Structure 1
Amino acid sequence: MKLAGALVLLGAALLLTSGGDCGICPAIKEKVELFLGPSVEAYVDFVKKYKGDNATLENAENMKNCADTKLTEEDKESVRSLLAKIEASKYCW
């Protein structure tokens, strides 16, 4: 999937989970920051707080490793910028 498509899907998912007020849940913000950050262990530990079965944790680790190898710093900044724009949008009430 192209980065632009991934960003659109991320934005849509975040808006849908925000309850309609465009405020992004702090847990989602934390998850995105951990996912984009340097530590696989920190991300997997975060996921473990919500669902600790082996398949989920293994999948989280695989996804994080894949993101670390595929996403550039520019890609990661684009995601962070999208989150900031969603929260700052004048169309959100």
Structure 2
Amino acid sequence: MKLAGALVLLGAALLLTSGGDCGICPAIKEDLELFLGPSVDAYVNFVKKYKDDNYTLENAESLKKCTDNKLTEQYKESVHSLLAKIEANSNC
């Protein structure tokens, strides 16, 4: 999954950017922060705010654990860095 997974996450974030200012939707930004962060429970609880059914929550937990096992800290930091550059870009 490594770099390809990080790029998929980034692509999803880019698709959901807001209209005029190129800022990333706050909910999507929080989702990515939690998804790339260390806590499975925090991510699952975030997902639960939007979709509270067992199937979705089990999938969210499984996806988070898989990501934690496959993506290195270096790849996660690369995604964070790229998101920061997108938000800082004045030419959007």
| TM-score bin, normalised by smaller chain | 0.7 to 0.9
Pair 1:6 & 2:8 matched: no
Instruction: Count matched residues.
Output: 91
Unaligned runs of 5+ in 2: none
Tell me how far apart the structure 2 counterparts of residues 75 and 88 of structure 1 sit (CA, whole Å). Answer: 20
Return the alpha-carbon distance in structure 2 between the equivalents of residues 7 and 71 of structure 1. Answer: 8
Contact 2:2 2:75 in 1 (8 A): no
Cα distance 1:8–1:76, how it changes in 2: closer, same or farther (>3 A)?
closer
Amino acid at match of 2:83: L
Identity, % of aligned positions: 69
Deviation of 1:48 after TM superposition, in Å, equals 0.1
**1:83 equivalent in structure 2:** 83
Question: Partner amino acid for 2:5?
Answer: A
**Larger CA deviation: 77-86 vs 9-18:** 9-18
Code of the residue aligned with 1:42 in structure 2: it is: A
Task: Tell me by how many angstroms 1:91 deviates.
Answer: 2.5
Which of structures 1 and 2 has the larger relative contact order (alpha carbons within 8 angstroms, sep 6+)? 2
Partner in structure 2 of residue 16 of structure 1: 15
Q: State the match for 1:25 in structure 2.
A: 25
**1:57 offset after TM fit, Å?**
0.3
AA at the equivalent of 1:15: L
* RMSD, aligned α-carbons: 1.6
Does the residue aligned with 2:50 lie in a helix, a strand or coil? coil
* TM-score, structure 1 normalization: 0.85
What runs of 5+ residues in structure 1 fail to find an aligned partner?
Answer: none
